[in-house]
Copies of this chain bind each other. A is one copy, B any other.
């Protein structure tokens, strides 16, 4: 890895930065951290004074529902900032934990705020990433409320592949997806048993292979069709 400031690397991929902006980003202090698989990063009710950029690994954002069931709202991948919203919300309303071993780069809220105040284009870009997250949540509501299990799963796989590709983490139609069937169940609101059967269905239809921490999409068009997937909500082509 290079020694580049991680936030600089991220923003540079989104924006043409001026020299002044680059310098200001360089001023943001970085506190590196490593978390092992299954480790807690923060909890509902926490009042963080910093946010982190995920450098490596997979992180998930979830809540406990009444019955003791966990609902996962999002899987975050390298390059994402899963708790950026804590910059303006005083406490967290969700749990954040490491699905796999992770490397994080924490950045103090004070520094981020200073950066935003001095460089509105950067503020807008960070704001925008939280808006894309919101859009993904909206689509999740549709996914879980409207689509049958098989379609729901297909939709998730489409999304994860596309986001991985956009983040430069995929190789062709293959991307890291280090999830257990239980994880998928908690994301999709389905029982493990049913996840298992739906996965088999996707496999026998020859749409995907999934296992050993990887997803390979064998028939993208069919998966898109089955998952009722339209990528616009990811706002990848916006700029």
Q: Which residues of A contact B (CB under 8 A)?
A: 44-45, 61, 63, 65-67, 69, 71, 73, 85, 88-91, 93-94, 113, 116-117, 120, 123-124, 127-128, 130-135, 137-142, 144-147, 151, 188-189, 228, 232-233, 235, 238-239
Separation of A113 and B127 alpha carbons in the complex (Å): 12
With A132-B89, A134-B134 as contacts: A71 and B127 at CB distance below 8 Å: no
Separation of A133 and B131 alpha carbons in the complex (Å): 10
Q: Are B134 and A85 closer than 8 Å at their CB atoms? A: yes
Separation of A209 and B230 alpha carbons in the complex (Å): 39
Q: Which of B71, B146, B151, B232 contacts A189 (CB 8 A)?
A: B146
Q: Are A238 and B89 closer than 8 Å at their CB atoms? A: yes
Specify which chain B residues have a CB less than 8 angstroms from the CB of A239 in the assembled complex.
Answer: 90
Q: Are A134 and B133 closer than 8 Å at their CB atoms? A: yes
Separation of A232 and B73 alpha carbons in the complex (Å): 17
Do most interface residues of chain A lie in helix, strand or loop, or is the interface mixed? Answer: helix
Q: Are B146 and A65 closer than 8 Å at their CB atoms? A: yes
Q: Are A135 and B93 closer than 8 Å at their CB atoms? A: yes
Q: Are B116 and A120 closer than 8 Å at their CB atoms? A: yes
Q: Are A73 and B130 closer than 8 Å at their CB atoms? A: no
Q: Are A93 and B133 closer than 8 Å at their CB atoms? A: no
Q: Are A85 and B135 closer than 8 Å at their CB atoms? A: yes
Specify which chain B residues have a CB less than 8 angstroms from the CB of A238 in the assembled complex.
Answer: 89-91
Q: Are A141 and B93 closer than 8 Å at their CB atoms? A: no
Specify which chain B residues have a CB less than 8 angstroms from the CB of A189 in the assembled complex.
Answer: 144-146
